[in-house]
Amino acid sequence: MSEYEGLLSSITARCKAAGQSHILAHLPDSAIPQADKLAFLRSIDDGVPLEKLDGYLKGALEEEEFLKNFDPANVPASEAIEPFAGETASTTNEAQAGLLKESYDAGFAAAGKGEVAALLLAGGQGTRLGYDGPKGMYDIGLPSHKTLFQLMAERIKKLSEMSGGKVPFYIMTSPLNHKATTEYFAKNDNFGIDVTFFPQGTLPAITPEGKMILETPTKLALAPDGNGGIYPALVKHGIIEDMKSRGIKYIHAFGVDNALVKPADPTFVGYCVKQDADVGNKVLWKTSPGEKVGVVASKGGKPCIVEYSDISKEMSERRGEDGRLVFGAGNICN
């Protein structure tokens, strides 16, 4: 049995079980080159989670329905949204100046020992900015005309020079911008730092009825799998193992949109180290109740990000004794 015959047999059975047999309808067409047919079957076998698509769609539709009918006044206790109650520190709180200095020293020392890595989520395009290319290559209008990528890379380089250690820069791209991103960095000699690129995965585009869409008779319509795709991508491309081999203990992950980000920020990293925290998150406090930004809170007793649309007007306007918004911890993907 040839490779084509073997793949066709197994994928036909899987597609039938998943209700996706329509994507194979063009394979009997003798006008389609055999090489294209084989490449198509290989792409399905290698990266299409046929058995999970129905669950993905069901979860997305249930979430959409939940948000459409969401009423904060009638939420069960298990889903109740409360202010975040975990450990916190503020760079604007003078009473914590000592703690922040200790945190900075701890983070700076970790960077100096080569234990800290910066991880950038950069799969997005600059479409909404009117730019046809990776968002990280966008000129945000500084007198220097430095791009977001350059700003971040130079900050990492400075931290490495100051601490005496090497802070590796890992960049998650997407299939849409991987080539453009890697070529941009190569053209600029990686801005003098150690950079590793890896693309996030893709998922098939599907109709509201759950049917996969074909872009051509032998090519599925695909889309990047979102920020959550970072976890399988780290494993698939050997990034976790690479980090282990370098002795990396702490990872600062952040989004490409943030021009003010401090990659591998010693104060933030050091605070998490001193608190023995598995996960930390930076926030900017909302200036008004109506700001349309998700906030860090607790839902059902667990830390989470709650979208502004899930919070009632009363909750968004609630203030503490200090006058600050109780639900004011604006999430900045940092």
Q: What is the pLDDT of residues 164-214, one digit of tens each?
A: 999 999 999 999 899 999 999 999 999 999 999 999 998 999 998 899 999
Q: How many Cβ atoms sit within 10 Å of the Cβ of residue 190? A: 17
Number of alpha carbons in the 13 Å side-chain half-sphere of residue 272: 19
Count of all residues that appear for the chain in the document: 334
Question: Are 320 and 314 in contact, with CB atoms under 8 Å apart?
Answer: no
Return the pLDDT at 92: 82
pLDDT tens-digit readout, 4-50: 999 999 999 999 999 999 999 999 999 999 999 999 999 999 889 99
SS3 at position 195: strand
Please classify residue 28 by burial: count the beta carbons closer than 10 Å to its beta carbon, then call 0-12 exposed, 13-18 middle and 19+ buried: exposed
DSSP code at position 139: B
> Looking at the predicted structure, is the pLDDT value of residue 73 above 70?
no
Please identify which residue in the block is written with the tokens 């069960």.
Answer: 76
Question: How far is Cα 163 from Cα 151, in angstroms, rounded to an integer?
Answer: 18
CA distances from 37 to 13, 150, 206 (A): 17, 42, 21
Model confidence at 160, in pLDDT bands (50, 70, 90)? very high
**Res. 312: pLDDT tops 90:** no
Q: What is the mean pLDDT of residues 66-71?
A: 69
CB 120 within 8 A of CB 158: no
Measured CA distances, 228 to 146, 165, 201, 331 (Å):
28, 30, 10, 16
Distance of CA 153 to the CA centre of its chain: 19
The β-bridge partners of 120 are 171, 254
Confidence of residue 65 (pLDDT cuts 50, 70, 90): confident
pLDDT at residue 12 in the model: 96
The rounded distance, in Å, linking the Cα atoms of 271 and 103 is 5
Alpha-carbon dihedral of residues 289, 293, 299, 301, nearest 10 degrees? -80
What is the pLDDT at residue 216? 95
Q: What is the dihedral of CA 123, 124, 125, 127, to 10 degrees?
A: 170
Q: How far apart are CA 31 and CA 26, in angstroms?
A: 10
Helix residue ranges per DSSP H, the chain: 3-18, 34-47, 53-68, 97-112, 148-163, 178-187, 230-236, 239-246, 266-274, 313-317
